Amino acid sequence: MADIVITEFMDEAAVARLAHAHDTLYEPDLVDDLAALHDHLASARVLIVRNRTQVNETLLSMGPRLKVVGRLGVGLDNIDVMACKARSIRVIPATGANNISVAEYVITAALMLLRGAWLRSSEVADGHWPRQAMMGRELAAKTMALVGFGEIAQEVAWRAHMMGMQVVAYDPYLAADHPGWQIARNVSLDAALELGDVVSLHTPLTEATRNMINATALSGMKPDAVLINAARGGIVDETALAEALAAGRLGGAALDVFETEPLSAEAGARFKGLANTILTPHIAGVTGESNQRVSELIADKVLEVLGGQV
């Protein structure tokens, strides 16, 4: 039976390092077979997951020997951290390893949504030549508003600043003397929504942030502003967002995360036919490079805990 169980995709070189030192089970689709996962946990000392595996009391009870839960990413809302702590199970996120990937996703989405032309290739392929309609807008001189100003948001701020944007941010938990405020102006949530030409979300999902961006919040944004959520599903009221987009009360949106994942066809139908809308399957932080960094970091930490560093 395996010492290490990996339920979702991981860089194979990192998996090989783990397997060289300890009995390792790597099944990227194991998350979808809970009965098999429960069986494999009986002997496991380490469980490695991404965001789809729900590490809750039920799952933890199936792993009496668990010492470590490794998270191939940074968000911990799929892991019951308190339950792990009560069982003396160490939770290890891959802090910092995918910051660049998420920051580049946000800047790319902002460029695509403001410029608009890249979303209309089919029209040109059909023989149309709508140059005036595709003019779009520049990023420079616009305002980037960041809701949450942690490490990833600060990476976005630096890139936005270098591209000529003004940067404002809302984060009541970040110290007023933090160096990040040298790039971004510290404002309230209402001010961030009001000022932003691009509003990018960077908060965890908590009871306080659930549906933070609701109909009222959306009504406080500029009618041509664009919204980007590469943080956590549930922060945005998706129905309210779709209604605002359909009514022309918002300039566009990019969603990489959703309240329920994977996004079902039924839930996704509300966004069908909406212009200037980008939907991606929770991959803002996943590139070839970031996957390697995240995987290697978790492999290093697991091997350190278990012994047998390779």
Q: String of b and e for 197-228 (b: at least 16 CB within 10 Å)?
A: bbbbbbbebeeebeebbeeebbeebbeebbbb
Residue 203, classed as helix, strand or coil, is coil
| Residue 310 structure tokens | 């390779």
Region of 65 please: left (phi>0), alpha (psi -120 to 50) or beta.
alpha
Active site residues: 232, 261, 282
Per DSSP, 79 falls in state B
What's the Rg (C-alpha) of the chain?
A: 21
Per-residue 3-state assignment (H helix, E strand, C coil) for 10-69: CCHHHHHHHHHHCCEEECCCHHHCHHHHHHHHCCCCEEEECCCCCECHHHHHCCCCCCEE
